[in-house]
Every structure is written in C-alpha cells, then in structure tokens.
Amino acid sequence: MPEAKKIAILGSTGSIGTQALEVVAAHPGQFEVEVLTAGGNADLLIEQTLQYKPNAVVIADESKYPYVKEALASEPVKVYAGSEALAQVTESDAVSVVLTALVGFSGLEPTLRAIAAGKHIALANKDTLVVAGKLVTEAARQAAVNLYPVDSEHSAIFQCLAGEWQNPVEKIYLTASGGPFRGYSAAQLETVTRTQALKHPNWSMGQKITIDSATLMNKGLEVIEAKWLFALKASQIDVVVHPQSIIHSVVQFTDGSMKAQMGLPDMKLPIQYALAYPHRITSDFPRFDFLKYPQLTFEPPDTVSFRCLGLAYEAMAQGGNMPCVMNAANEIAVAEFLRDRLRFTSIARVVETTMQRVSFDAAPDLGVLRASDAEARRVAMECAAG
C-alpha cells in the first residue's frame, strides 16, 4: 500500500475543512492530518486536534493563542498563532498536499508560500485564483506544482478532462443551481431576508458562499477561476442554470462531443478526488438513482435580476487588479448583508460602485494586489454605509 498522504488543512473549522476531515476519517490508511489551521473558532480547532492528532495547529486570531495552547498542553502538538505562522506551516517538509479552504483574500499568501515550497494544492479557495490567477498559475508552473480543484464544478471539468489533455476544448459549461431565489424578479429580491438567503436548495455550505450562490456571484467567481485553471478565454466559459445540481459541469470538445460529470450534490466527493488524485478510492457516499430524477432541466441565468454574474464577467474582461477589487468589495457587501446592514439587492450596487472608484492597474504584482484589496474594502464600506 502506498504511504499515506500527509495533509495540511487551512481552514479546518469551516464547511470544506470539516468535510475534508470526514473524508480523512473514512480513509485512515490513505491520509494523515499533519496541520490544521483555524481563523477564530478555537473550540472546534481544539476538538479536531484531539481527534486527528496533527503535528501542528495554527489559530490565526492571536488573542486566542493562550486558550488553545493551554487546552492542548498535554498533547504532542505544536501550537502557533497569527497569519505568518499560518503561511509558514504550509512549508513543512512533512506536508505533501495543502488543502486551502480559507475564505477570501486571506487564502492567497499561504497558497503562494505552499507552492513555493513545492506542495501540491487542493484548491477550495476560489478567491485565490480570482484575485491573483496569473501569479498563482505562473508560480505553480515554475514550481512544477499541481492545482487540484475542489469546487464541485471545477472538479467536474477536471474529471472530464482526464485522459483528454491533448484534445482542445471548445467550451465548458459551469452549472448553477440558481440558488434560493431562482425565478425572482428584481422587485421581489428587494425584500428577501438574510434567513431566506441562507437556505440553499441543494448544497450545505458556509454562510459567505451561500450568499454568493444566492446572488450568483459565486458562479461569477467560478468563471474567473475556470479561466485560470483550464487556460480558457471568457468566450469559452458559459453558465447554465441546472436546478437539480446533478450535472456538475460539462466539457465540449472541438469535434462537438460533450462530457459531463454527474452525481448527487455532496462536497465530500470532489474533496476526496482532489486529495486522492490520481486514484479514485472507494466511498460510502449516497449513489445517484436515475429513476428518482426522471427530468433534468436547464435554463439561462438571469443576469438582469442577478447583476453579480455580469459584474464578474466585466472584471474578468478588464483584467489586471479588477477581479481583486470586485472580490474585496463583494466580501464587504456580503458581510454587511449578513449583519442586516445592507439589502440583498445592494450587494451588487456596492460591488459595481467600488469597481468604478478604485484605481485600475493592468499588471499588478502581489504588493499592488494587497493595496487594491485594502482600497476596495475601504471604498466598499463607504458605499455600504451610504
């Protein structure tokens, strides 16, 4: 039996992180947990540490370091705190795969550090490629590091391309459930609540990504991510609404043939595929039954009522630091909506206004992206308050 892969999970207390640990627990001979990190959920990080026995843990919120350190004092585990420590642990010689499941811009620098250290990346943080797709993909190419997509849609494309790398792709179709407000008019969206927006019809996800799914911004972020992951042009990436979430995405080749990856909506499958690649390992995930889904339907996305998808295409077309600006503004707008300080329909307004106001840079380096992210957050807060 091959040696177990040693995994670092960045963001182990979030939705993807907790599901990744379920995958690890189901396959003790395949995977071992080497590193766990959390933002501020100290209690769950402690619980995970006691169960999975990693070699090191990081709590990004430095104020909670004494609490975590004391709780794990009797355990043979190294305890660190802060963003620099979070980036450093990815460089450990013992780590073979880094699962980046951090939310937002915070995932960028740890991912770049892990790539520089020669670690293969299981990428669940789509913002990393949205913000700095050119930097990340060039770094991965230079370091001969693989990027394994964890998003269900990008995992589907990746699986469809297996064995087809030499064949040119004509187009890909990213499927979207349409979220909880599919079919709503712009007027109906004016009155939706936080509670309604957090009720996704098919997927169990964290709060931020659930709201992004409701606005269709999540699909916009995925379009930009797909451009970088698969070296595609915007004209080669289409979005189609598929309410049943059974077909996770489709690749169309230049001969007209199409390949789709199908299955029940369960994030553990793409997580397991990314961690185990190039092998498929047995799972007890629920199986799809065609007779329970006699009809699969498809429709175009409504980019008038759901403006965020169009904004993502605009940011991708403009390039440079604009996707970074869009991403930062969206993070602020979603956070304000979740605090009941902003209307659902104002999320797109804040993002669009911020994109118009922040300085554009056509060829940003990491320093420029940091500055753009900070400027966009400041401008977005002003827009949200106004």
Interval 86-110 mean pLDDT? 89
- Residue 262 scores a pLDDT above 70: yes
pLDDT grade for 103, boundaries at 50, 70 and 90: confident
Instruction: Using alpha carbons, list the distances in angstroms from residue 173 to 85, 157, 248, 371.
Output: 39, 9, 9, 33
Kind of pairing between the strands at 169-176 and 247-253: antiparallel
What pLDDT was estimated at residue 186? 87
pLDDT at 320 > cutoff 80:
yes
Residue 51 token pair: 């169960």
Question: What average pLDDT does the structure give for the chain?
Answer: 94
One-letter amino acid identity for 360? F
Is 133 in contact with 224 (CB distance < 8 Å)? Answer: yes
pLDDT surpasses 70 at 204: no
- pLDDT tens-place string over residues 168-180: 999 999 999 998 9
For the segment 25-49, what is each residue's pLDDT rounded down to a tens digit?
999 889 999 999 999 999 999 999 9
125 pLDDT band (50/70/90 cuts)? confident
Distance CA 138, CA 86 (A): 22
Look at residue 206 and tell me whether its pLDDT is greater than 80: no
pLDDT confidence tier of residue 104, bands split at 50, 70 and 90: confident
Grade residue 203 by pLDDT with cuts at 50, 70 and 90: low
Tell me how far apart the alpha carbons of residues 282 and 121 are, in angstroms, rounded to a whole number. Answer: 22
Asked whether the beta carbons of 54 and 34 are under 8 A apart, the reply is yes
The string of pLDDT tens digits covering residues 340-354 is: 999 999 999 999 999
pLDDT of residue 274: 96
Q: How far apart are CA 231 and CA 225, in angstroms?
A: 10
pLDDT for 164 equals 95
